[in-house]
Amino acid sequence: MCLRRYLINLVDKSKSDNDKNILDLLEKVPQAKLLDLGCADGEWTLKLGEKVCTKNLFGVDIIEEQIKKAISREVECRCADLNGDLPFEDEMFDVVHANQVIEHIYNLEKFIKEAYRVLKTDGYAIISTENLSSWHNIFALICGWQPFSATNYLLKTLGNPLSLWKGREHHTDESLCHNKLWAYRGLIEFLENYNFKIERIKGAGYYPLFSFLGNLDKRHCHWITIKARKKSKNYVSK
C-alpha cells in the first residue's frame, strides 16, 4: 500500500510539473486569442489565459456538460469533434493549446491541419502528450506487456499487471480512450511534417524516479510538451 501511494504521488507530481511546463512555454501577449482544444470545463483554460494575459479564450469539447461549465467560466466554447473541422475561421488564433488530447485522436492528419489552419502566421501551438518512449513504457514492452500509456485502448485498463488502474473500468466514453501514441522523435517529425517549426521541448515524469529528471532526459520522460511555431511565409529551412 505504501508503494502504491508513493507511485500515485509520483504521477500526481509529474502531472503538476507538466502543467508548469505548459505555462512556462506560453508568451504574455495581451489581447491574444487562445484556443484550447479539448478544454473540458474550462478551468485550465482560464489558467492559460492568465499566463498569456488575455481574456480572449476559446475552447472546443465534445461533452455537452463540460461545454456548459466552460461557457459559465466565460470561455467561448463550441461543440466539435476534434477528428473533423474546427468551427473557426482561418488564421484566427495566436495560440492553439492541446494538453493530453492527440493520443485520443484517430484522424491525426485532419487534427493537425485544422490546428495549423486556424493559427495565425507566426502563431504557435503547445502540444502535450504521453511519451511512448518513456523508460517505464519501454520496460513494459520488454516484459511483453502493454505500455503503461496504452493500457486504456478500451474502456477497461488491460494488459499491464503493474498498472495502478489495472482492471478498472475508468471511462464511460470511447472518445476518452487512447488511440495513437507518439515517441519523442515521432512527435517532433509529425509536427515538422505539417510545416511547424519546433522551438522548445520540455519533459516531466521519470518513473520510478523524481519527476524533474524528465526535463533532463526528454527522450525518456513520461509527459512531453512541445512548442511549435507556424512557419511564416518567408521562413527558410536551415
Give the model confidence (pLDDT) of 180-228 as tens digits.
Answer: 899 999 999 999 999 999 999 999 999 999 999 999 999 999 999 999 9
Domain count, the chain: 1
Q: Residue 96 belongs to what domain range?
A: 2-230
User: What whole-number distance in Å separates Cα of residue 234 and Cα of residue 204?
Assistant: 34
Tell me the three cell numbers of residue 156.
Answer: 477497461
Q: What is the pTM of this model?
A: 0.91
pLDDT at 237: 45
User: What whole-number distance in Å separates Cα of residue 67 and Cα of residue 157?
Assistant: 27
pLDDT higher than threshold 60 for residue 56: yes
- Percentage above 70 pLDDT, the chain: 93
pLDDT higher than threshold 70 for residue 97: yes
> Residues 10-32: what's their mean pLDDT?
96
DSSP H helices in the chain: 2-25, 43-52, 64-72, 108-118, 135-142, 184-193
pLDDT at 26: 98
Tell whether 236 is covered by a domain. Answer: no
Tell whether 200 is covered by a domain. Answer: yes
**Predicted confidence band of residue 19 (pLDDT cuts 50, 70, 90):** very high
pLDDT in tens, 126-176: 999 999 999 999 999 999 999 999 887 777 788 898 888 776 776 566 667
User: What whole-number distance in Å separates Cα of residue 99 and Cα of residue 26?
Assistant: 13
Name the more confident of 120 and 236.
120
Tell whether 237 is covered by a domain. Answer: no
Tell whether 173 is covered by a domain. Answer: yes
Please report the sign of the dihedral spanned by the C-alpha atoms of residue 50, residue 12, residue 225, residue 114: negative
Annotate 90-113 with b (16+ C-beta within 10 A) or e (fewer).
eebbbbbbbbebbbbbeebebbbe
Tell whether 165 is covered by a domain. Answer: yes
Task: Residue 194: give its domain's CATH number.
Answer: 3.40.50.150
- Check residue 182 and report its DSSP letter: B
Q: Report CA 23 to chain centroid distance, whole Å.
A: 13
**Predicted confidence band of residue 38 (pLDDT cuts 50, 70, 90):** very high
Tell whether 86 is covered by a domain. Answer: yes
Tell whether 235 is covered by a domain. Answer: no
